């Protein structure tokens, strides 16, 4: 019988630490529920001591999300462990994840402590955490650069103290596959009580080797992999969950006797959700979930795929929930047809949400001859957004052209009232944003703006994504429409509404 590889997802903790990727309370809960549907084994929901907001988010996930073990991070400090317990205690199952740096460079420059003191703190923190729950994970931070003999001592002693999982992080993405696999193997061979704990790995992607290192660790005895959706995370990111899962699933010859419990058909949908909420656009050539991952332009490739898909595709798109851009519906299609197609795409909407989505679909169908799956996904993602629409777009008008100073009139709806703002700008989008600012009474500084076509054709929906700074806070917004200026305005208002809540 195949051994299960435990998938420990840290999108909500390490992933959210990526600059610009922060999510609000409701967005974190939405991602956590998606991860539960995906079938992850452990959700690291956050770092409770780090802020009141993080504490509340972890507490909400622990209370609401069923299925996975809910985990909270803590330094080897009693107040951190106390906070983690208080945030996690309402969960069906929870884990406290304690970490302490063990490499010489961290001990000398960051902690300013000797090996004996580090060992004492590690053991004491695990013993203290065990008072609150039996599921304790310990991470010797920067393990891949730690002196091996000291690492063996630390791992052995924290297992004696009660750690049931020992994580071996490649914190700065320094190691390479053969070296890292050898480290995992040497831990198995030199730590006497290692059979009493699960070996976990947590790899960063600074050298582009996070997935390769994680997979090599699996082949050398690691049975938990810590990863994130789309590989989001600090600096160059973390090991990508979808790549790890599909590599194990696809190459049974390389990974015999192991499996994951991931519902692969939920991968693409979850990937899009995380991209939408973090504002990190997925590169078209991203493995497994990129827009081009299952598309073929070369005539030779197209001919081969048409004759036999396996000539150029080692994974079926539908295996990861990717349904491409196939034409599915038109303006004469009814509510039932839309409902069934959305179910195929993995969406099960409530009656009220379905009503709004159908209205948006009909509105779009009047503008477009062809409605593609990605059009439908964009509609649904807008309708099930967790941000309350305090400010809604009523209408806008723009005067612009060569030699003309762009001017915009924007009408916004707020609590039943229609308010109007007029402004000029460097371009039509800038003018619209400034007009909206006059109505809202806030000034947003645009930090980043991107526009992409959701589907093909001249009438394709445009999806705008942006980051704006309002006072000292940076928020992300996204909006979609067949009119790119409207998409930009919707994205701007989405960001403003996030700031308001």
**Band of the pLDDT at 423, cuts 50, 70, 90?**
very high
Model confidence pLDDT, tens digit, residues 180-206: 999 999 999 999 999 999 999 999 999
Q: Which residues pair with 98 in a beta bridge?
A: 74, 138
Q: Which residues pair with 464 in a beta bridge?
A: 451, 479
More confident residue, 213 or 26: 213
Q: What is the pLDDT of residue 385?
A: 60
Phi-psi sector, 295: left (phi>0), alpha (psi -120 to 50), beta: beta
Written as six digits, the tokens of 449 are 């703006």
Distance CA 465, CA 487 (A): 9
Distance CA 96, CA 499 (A): 31
Q: What is the pLDDT of residue 387?
A: 57
Most confident region among 237-246, 271-280, 398-407, 473-482 by mean pLDDT = 237-246
Distance CA 175, CA 160 (A): 28
Model confidence pLDDT, tens digit, residues 22-60: 788 888 999 999 999 999 999 999 999 999 999 999 999
Q: Which fold has domain 3-278?
A: TIM Barrel (3.20.20)
Q: Which fold has domain 392-500?
A: Double Stranded RNA Binding Domain (3.30.160)
Q: What is the pLDDT of residue 450?
A: 87
Residue entry with tokens 């995906």: 38
Q: Contact at 8 Å (CB) between 24 and 385?
A: no
Q: Contact at 8 Å (CB) between 77 and 125?
A: yes
Model confidence pLDDT, tens digit, residues 349-361: 788 888 888 888 8
More confident residue, 307 or 287: 287
Q: What is the pLDDT of residue 45?
A: 97
Diameter of the chain measured on Cα atoms: 78
Cα–chain center distance at 107: 31
**Band of the pLDDT at 150, cuts 50, 70, 90?**
very high
Cα–chain center distance at 411: 34
Written as six digits, the tokens of 302 are 């197209």
């Amino acid at each position: 019988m195949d051994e299960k590889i435990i998938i420990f997802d840290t999108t909500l903790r390490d992933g959210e630490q990526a600059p610009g990727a922060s999510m609000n309370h409701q967005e974190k809960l939405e991602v956590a529920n998606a991860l539960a549907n995906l079938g992850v084994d452990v959700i690291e929901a956050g770092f409770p001591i780090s802020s009141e907001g993080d504490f509340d988010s972890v507490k909400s996930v622990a209370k609401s999300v069923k299925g996975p073990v809910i985990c909270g991070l803590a330094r080897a400090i009693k107040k951190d462990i106390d906070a983690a317990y208080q945030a996690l205690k309402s969960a069906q199952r929870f884990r406290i994840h304690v970490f302490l740096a063990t490499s010489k460079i961290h001990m000398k420059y960051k902690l300013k402590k000797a090996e004996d003191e580090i060992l004492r703190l590690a053991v004491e923190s695990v013993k203290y955490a065990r008072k609150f729950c039996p599921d304790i994970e310990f991470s010797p931070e920067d393990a891949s650069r730690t002196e091996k003999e000291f690492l063996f001592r630390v791992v052995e002693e924290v297992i004696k103290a009660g750690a049931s999982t020992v994580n071996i992080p490649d914190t700065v993405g320094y190691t390479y596959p053969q070296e890292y696999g050898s480290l995992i193997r040497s831990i198995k061979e030199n730590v006497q009580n290692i059979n009493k704990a699960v070996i976990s790995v947590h790899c960063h992607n600074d050298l582009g080797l996070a997935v390769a290192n994680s997979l090599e660790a699996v082949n050398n005895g690691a049975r938990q992999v810590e990863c994130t959706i789309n590989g989001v995370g600090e600096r160059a990111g973390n090991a990508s969950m979808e790549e790890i899962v599909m590599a194990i699933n696809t190459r049974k010859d390389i990974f015999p006797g192991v499996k994951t419990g991931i519902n692969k058909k939920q991968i693409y949908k979850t990937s899009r959700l995380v991209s939408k909420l973090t504002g990190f656009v997925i590169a078209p050539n991203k493995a497994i979930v990129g827009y081009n991952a299952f598309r073929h332009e070369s005539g030779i490739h197209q001919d081969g795929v048409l004759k036999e898909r396996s000539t150029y595709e080692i994974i079926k798109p539908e295996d990861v929930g990717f349904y491409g851009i196939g034409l599915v519906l038109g303006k004469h299609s009814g509510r039932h047809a839309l409902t069934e197609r959305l179910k195929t795409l993995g969406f099960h909407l409530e009656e009220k949400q379905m009503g709004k989505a159908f209205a948006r679909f009909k509105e779009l169908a009047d503008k477009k001859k062809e409605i593609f799956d990605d059009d439908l996904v964009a509609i649904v993602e807008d309708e099930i957004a967790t941000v309350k629409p305090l400010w809604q777009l009523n209408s806008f008008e723009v005067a612009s052209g060569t030699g003309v100073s762009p001017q915009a009139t924007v009408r916004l709806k707020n609590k039943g009232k229609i308010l109007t703002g007029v402004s000029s700008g460097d371009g039509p989008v800038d003018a619209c944003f400034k007009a909206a600012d006059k109505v809202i009474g806030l000034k947003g500084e645009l930090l980043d703006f991107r526009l992409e076509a959701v589907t093909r054709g001249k009438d394709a929906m445009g999806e705008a994504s942006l980051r704006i700074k309002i006072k000292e806070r940076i928020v992300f917004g996204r909006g979609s429409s067949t009119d790119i200026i409207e998409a930009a305005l919707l994205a701007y208002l989405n960001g403003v509404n996030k700031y308001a809540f």
